[in-house]
């Protein structure tokens, strides 16, 4: 949903209505009607209108969402609000997701990096841990900014690029930052999908998800389990997979799940046994959803039952 109040204000200042704007710029009545309906205009049309009015395209509209969490996240992110739900989720999601994968940074250090772009260290910490913390903040932003777009392979690869670029691994040509793996990998003693088959398996997974008229939390957990069994990237699969699940929940208006680092043993058990028994991962993710629901309640953000 797009709110064109900024455009309407500009038009009132010129004593011009939408129809008049369309005639002046040669824009079809069908396109102009999208403004009243709150539908998305193409970048080309927005740039033409903005050029005519002498403003930036972003001054013409504001993107609105029926999902209260997504709407608040976008508002607080845009305004740079400190201490709100956007601030808290950035820290909590980033700390727990990175710590599950072995990051040495504490939650306090993660919070300090987000709040001040500095870090207080009493011991040696991997530079990659710091970089991937900052990158994870940006990956969450990417999910918020693109929550209403289709889930594609390019979107998933971009999450991987955001997370892993500039790290030590990115200097290895075969590591393929932002692309599928080129070498086999094993997780928990189990073989994952061979590199030659990854693109095909990911295509099947995305096609399955795309056929769902409306995904529910169990569909999202199933996607996560299958994604992690494919393990499409050389490294960073766990973090990318949890970011995808966060994006999917935002897109569907579902309370996201937050896997607390203290529950990682149960989480890993669920992933390792996904093909044989789905209930373990499902229960862990639903527990993580309860954790997130409590955070949302503390910030008085209403989310309906899925």
Does 17 appear as a known binding residue?
A: no
237 is in an annotated binding site: yes
Rounded-to-integer distance, Cα 292 and Cα 275, Å: 26
Long-range CB pairs of 293-296, under 8 A, 24+ apart, other chains included: 293/255, 295/85, 295/88, 295/89, 295/92, 295/258, 296/69, 296/85, 296/255
Q: Rounded to an integer, what distance in angstroms lies between the CA atom of residue 247 and that of residue 224? A: 12
Q: Each residue of 87-104: b (16+ CB within 10 Å) or e?
A: bbbbbbbbbbbbbbbebe
Could you give the angle at the alpha carbon of 112 between the alpha carbons of 109 and 118, nearest 5°? 100
Does 270 appear as a known binding residue? no
Query: Is 236 annotated as a binding-site member?
Result: yes
190 annotated to bind ligand: no
241 is in an annotated binding site: yes
* Contact criterion met (CB below 8 Å) for 36 and 18: yes
Q: Where are the beta strands (DSSP E) in the chain?
A: 2-3, 62-63, 186-187, 190-191
- 231 assigned to active site: yes
**Is 240 labelled a binding residue?**
yes
Out of 99, 160, 224, 231, which one is annotated catalytic?
231
**CA of 79: how far to CAs of 72, 84, 147, 219, in Å?**
10, 11, 18, 33
**Known binding residues for ATP:** 235-242, 267-268
**Known binding residues:** 235-242, 267-268
Residues tagged active-site? 231
């Amino acid at each position: 949903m797009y709110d064109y109040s900024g455009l309407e204000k500009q038009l009132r200042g010129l004593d011009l209505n939408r129809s008049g704007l369309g005639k002046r710029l040669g824009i079809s009545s069908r396109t102009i009607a999208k403004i009243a309906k709150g539908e998305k205009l193409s970048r080309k049309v927005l740039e033409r209108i903005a050029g005519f009015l002498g403003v930036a395209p972003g001054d013409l509209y504001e993107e609105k969402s029926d999902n209260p969490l997504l709407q608040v996240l976008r508002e607080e992110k845009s305004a740079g609000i400190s201490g709100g739900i956007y601030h808290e989720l950035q820290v909590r999601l980033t700390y727990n997701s990175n710590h599950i994968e072995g990051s040495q940074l504490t939650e306090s250090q993660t919070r300090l990096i987000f709040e001040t772009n500095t870090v207080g260290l009493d011991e040696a910490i991997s530079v990659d841990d710091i970089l991937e913390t900052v990158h994870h903040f940006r990956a969450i932003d990417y999910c918020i900014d693109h929550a209403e777009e289709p889930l594609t392979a390019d979107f998933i690869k971009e999450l991987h690029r955001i997370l892993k670029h500039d790290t030590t691994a990115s200097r290895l040509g075969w590591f393929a930052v932002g692309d599928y793996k080129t070498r086999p990998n094993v997780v928990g003693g189990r073989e994952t999908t061979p590199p030659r088959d990854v693109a095909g398996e990911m295509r099947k997974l995305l096609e399955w998800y795309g056929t769902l008229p409306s995904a529910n939390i169990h569909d999202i957990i199933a996607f996560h389990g299958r994604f992690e069994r494919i393990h499409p990237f050389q490294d960073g699969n766990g973090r990318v997979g949890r970011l995808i699940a966060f994006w999917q929940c935002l897109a569907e208006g579902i309370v996201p799940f937050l896997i607390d680092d203290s529950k990682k043993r149960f989480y890993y058990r669920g992933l390792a046994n996904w093909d044989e028994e789905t209930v373990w991962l499902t229960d862990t993710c639903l527990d993580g959803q309860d954790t997130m629901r409590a955070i949302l309640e503390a910030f008085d953000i209403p989310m309906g039952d899925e």
